[in-house]
Every structure is written in C-alpha cells, then in structure tokens.
Structure 1
Amino acid sequence: MYDYQKKFTTNRLILKVIDESYAEKVVEYINKNKDFLTPWSPLVNEEFFAVQFQAQKLNEDIKKMNDGSMLKVWIFKKEDEKEEIIGSISLNNIVRGVFQSCHLGYQLSHKEINQGYITEAINRVIEYAFDELQLHRIEANIMPRNGASLKVVEKLGFESEGLAKKYLKINGKWEDHIHMVILNEKME
C-alpha cells in the first residue's frame, strides 16, 4: 500500500500525495486555472470540473500508485495555512524491468509562474525518482510552442531526443512534441 502521508519538501514548497478529501481543493485549482491550462491539456467535458469526478480521479491515482505505475504529488506553499493547491507533478507510465522509465507531467497555477516554483518542485521529484524509485530515465514530451515548459526542463538537465510528430491530442488537435529526457547518471 502507498504511504498516503508521503510528503516531500523543498525550500519553499510541500509536495504531497492527496486523497479524495482534497477533491474540492482540486476543483478550485482547476477552475481558477482553466483558461491558462486549456491550451496545454487534453479536452475534457463538464463532468471533469465536478467534485465527485475529481474525488474518483484521486482514488484512481492512489490505485495506480499502489500498483507502482504512477507517482502524483500536489504542490503547496509552505507558508500557506489555507493549503491552496498551486500545481501538480506526476510520474506516469512507470515501467520496470529493463526499461526503468516514466513520463513526467506537470502544471502550475497561472498566479505562480516565473517564480521558480515548478523547477524547484520537479527537481525534488527527480531526486526521489532516481534515488528512491531507482528509475533510469524520465521523459517529458513538450509542444515546441511551449517555450516556458521547455526552459524549465532544460534548466533541470533534460536533453532533446527529437521531435515526435502529432504525438498527443491536446485541446482537440494532434500536436507535435519535443521528446526531452534526463538519465539517472548514478545507474550503470
């Protein structure tokens, strides 16, 4: 079973696994950032914005964490007593065996961009993925027009392995993605 009390800290942030008791806070975060995140996200229907749907999604995430195929943490500022969610990071499609790899996904509130929060948070998740989960590689697929996101992963040491044409359907359109990768140099 996954440790639901799992928390990671950085200088300014708390990254933690949350359960369905946070569904209202997730919906609040999604609604506040709907316009900002839509150009970078798959299409969703109105059900996505319901507390019940998000509670179910949080439970599904915990099941995936229990089976070892995912890690998802939500980002909070240390000094925020209201515990407002400012973003999330996920390691999806964790594959073991000879691959030892995963896909990185992340998002941040429009109010919090350009303050280094997402770089700080992803750096901590990478440390955990490499040191504790013993993953060999983390892959991030980013649309070429998302310069801010590319800048974040480049700062963290990700390198381009090329362009994947019409890789993911984002906001209703098949989009090219730059395949960015970081390797765990501690693993032989």
Structure 2
Amino acid sequence: MHGDEIPAARPDSRVVLRPLTGGDQDEFLDLVKASAGLHHPWMSLPATPEQFQAYLARYEKPDEEALLVCVRGTGAIAGVVTINSIIRGRFQSASLAYAAFTPSAGQGYLTEGLDLVVRHAFQRLRLHRLEAQIQPGNHASLGLVRRAGFRHEGLSPEILFIDGAWRDHERWAITTGMVDIGPVEPHPTLPGH
C-alpha cells in the first residue's frame, strides 16, 4: 500500500482508493480525453490543465473530497468518485459523483471503488447519508448505485445543469443503517438531542 492510499475495508478488493493530487494531472487528463464518449452527455470532467487545477483546488476544501479508484498492484486509475457538499450538524450528508475511465470500464472496478467510498464516508468521515443524482437515461450509473445498495427516492425535475441544460435526475441514497459497518462514533458536530 502506498502511503497515500486509504485503507481498504475489504482485503480481497481489486481496487484501492487514494486522494487526487496534482501529480495525477497528465494521466487524469489523458483518461478524460479517452473516455469522452463514455461520459457524454452524463457529465463533464476537467479537460485542460487549467480546468484540472480548478477541480483539484475545489477538492482540497474541507467539505469536498476527490478519490481515485486505482487497480490494486498496478496503480492504474480506473475511475474517480467525489464526495461533494459535505453538510454536518443534524444532516451529516454529502452528494456523490463518479466516473469510470474507458481503459478499465465494464470490469467492476468502479463498483468495488464505490463500495470502498461508501465505507470511507461512513466510517472515517462519519457521515450518515450519501446521495447520488442520476439522469434517468444513464443506465450504467443506475445499475452501479443499485449494486451498491442505494435506494431510489424519487425524481427531481431540472435539478442539475449538465451538457448545457437543466436536467431531470433520479435521487438515490444510502444511509449507515443500510450498510454493515458496525458501530461508529458520531461526528462531533452531531447534536446530542
């Protein structure tokens, strides 16, 4: 394990998580370019060095986190999962966004990576709830959250601005009670009553 890897909750996992860093810029941008057909029209990722630097700066803030899903052994980046807009207090929640990259898409790496991110968010970040907003036609993404155990909560019309327009998204969520993680000490910002 590299010093910057996040310890895996499952020793048999084929992937590891690690934070996105400035040293990932060239590989990340190459993967984004190679994966443009996979991502469009569902999402857009940084495509230039300037966009990457802005993306990296966003995820250096305390209420945001960008994690790379890397193949164990080779370190190849298979995908990215971001934990966005962490809200503490009575909510203890965040939104997720994710993308697989073409060279390794369809091999189950993002499924394993999302499982590790959920466990990381609930055990280490001590969140209670994670949400994912998915366009109804994005069948691959819907399958991913179903496999991860998320529940469907409804449809939000025109909730996110994607590919030049406000798009409808299905809301999917998972809470700590839906995952077998054992007891976790509540985050200190959770009120006692």
Q: Smaller-chain TM-score range?
A: 0.7 to 0.9
| C-alpha distance in 1 between matches for 2:144 and 2:20 | 25
One-letter code of the match for 2:59?
D
Q: What are the within-5 Å matches in structure 2 for residues 1-188 of structure 1?
A: 5-9=4-8, 11-42=13-44, 48-62=46-60, 64=61, 67=62, 69-80=63-74, 83-185=75-177
Q: CA deviation at 1:119?
A: 1.0
Contact 1:41 1:171 in 2 (8 A): yes
Q: Deviations over 1:105-144 (max 9, x none)?
A: 1000123232211110000111111112111110000011
Shift of 1:7: 2.5
When normalised by structure 2's length, the TM-score is 0.82
Alpha-carbon offset, residue 98 of structure 1: 0.6
- Tell me the alpha carbon deviations over residues 158-179 of structure 1, each in whole angstroms, 9 at most, x when there is no partner: 1111100111121112211110
Q: Which amino acid aligns with 2:56?
A: L
TM-score, L = length of structure 1: 0.84
| Residue correspondences, number | 175
5+ residue gaps, structure 2: 178-182, 187-193
**Unaligned regions of 5+ residues in structure 1, if any?**
none
Structure 1 runs (4+) greater than 6 angstroms displaced: none
Equivalent-residue separation in structure 1 for 2:126 and 2:96 (angstroms): 15
Partner-residue secondary structure (3-state), 1:7: coil
CA 1:143–1:53 in 2, change beyond 3 Å: closer, same or farther? closer
The structure with the greater share of residues assigned to helix is: 1
Asked whether the 8 Å contact 2:79–2:99 carries over to 1, the reply is yes
